[in-house]
Structure 1
């Protein structure tokens, strides 16, 4: 299945939007590498298959909708209490969702083909807008892609605990996986 030219509306019903963190520091073995999922988001994509440069993507994320899906590594498994605490820290201390309830991405350039495409665009996170690059592909009727977000570029200090011995890495991986059969074409 390939992409048909046109306008599309995407969201949680059409696929997953994940954020993956890793840990660093002397106390790294005590923490967890996390997989977080954005549960409320919307994307509008306009696809021009003959001239990809005329394509565009706009994504809007409800910053309060990030939920912990998995924690790997660590000395003990994540509890539901741990998950709730991590989600609270993300909302209150990292993303400050009371002041910045929305995260947005707007493409400024699209290039490539289904096998390998590249989106350049502006990501607004905690009220700061910086350029970011998204790499992706379409295979087997699914659109996959990812971007590396260096938190400090947006003024975010990566979370740390145990007097700084346990820290999240500055780079987080944002990934998406969409089923084209579930995408609403307008």
Structure 2
């Protein structure tokens, strides 16, 4: 089956960290949402002629967590949550790509705090094109969700009004731009 993606060029693409981010969102006190971000360490996208055979490997610097509150960020880096001293990197390795209407689903293994679980991200291609310096780039947004407790991120506090301080479900959004390597 041939999939036609405008501007698609096969090759190996390296993530441009200055134009990429891993964002997340979680319920706080069951009444609002807290958003934050991580910095990518690196990511490589291998795009063969058939886009359904594409693969990605990505590493995220867990200590880069930024929720706009240094106290909370320090707690997230601690052993209560990510334990960045012992687990400095979060990784994703794809295991397959599937068509989903006009977009794609990317299946893979996500490793957080030493625990690996399968996850699926909905991938929306932003497109491909030549940058002002003659390089070739592609962009995409991937969205998915995980249950943080399945990855050993179990710290919480009960609230007097019922419920807990931190929700279990984490929404993840990856905004990515990558450059074709020569």
TM-score (ref. length: structure 2):
0.79
- Give the Cα separation in 2 of the matches to 1:160 and 1:84: 19
SS at match of 2:86: coil
More strand by share: 2
**Structure 1 position 149, deviation (Å):** 1.1
- Give the Cα separation in 2 of the matches to 1:90 and 1:156: 10
- Correspondence for 1:167: 165
SS at match of 2:63: helix
More helix by share: 1
Asked if residue 90 in structure 1 is aligned to residue 87 in structure 2, the reply is: no
1:44-123 counterparts in 2 under 5 A? 44-48=44-48, 50-69=49-68, 83-92=69-78, 93-112=80-99, 115-123=102-110
Q: Is the 8 A contact 2:94 2:108 kept in 1?
A: yes
Deviations 1:126-164 (A, max 9, x none): 001111111111146541111101112112215336567
Q: Is the 8 A contact 2:41 2:59 kept in 1?
A: yes
* Stretches of 4+ aligned residues off by more than 6 angstroms: none
- Give the Cα separation in 2 of the matches to 1:136 and 1:62: 22
Q: List runs of 5+ in structure 2 lacking aligned partners.
A: 1-5, 129-138
- Give the Cα separation in 1 of the matches to 2:102 and 2:18: 24
- Correspondence for 1:124: 111
- Give the Cα separation in 2 of the matches to 1:68 and 1:144: 20
**Structure 1 position 100, deviation (Å):** 0.6
TM-score (ref. length: structure 1):
0.78
Q: List runs of 5+ in structure 1 lacking aligned partners.
A: 70-82
**Structure 1 position 11, deviation (Å):** 3.8
Deviations 1:90-120 (A, max 9, x none): 1002001111111000001112279311111
Q: Is the 8 A contact 1:62 1:102 kept in 2?
A: yes
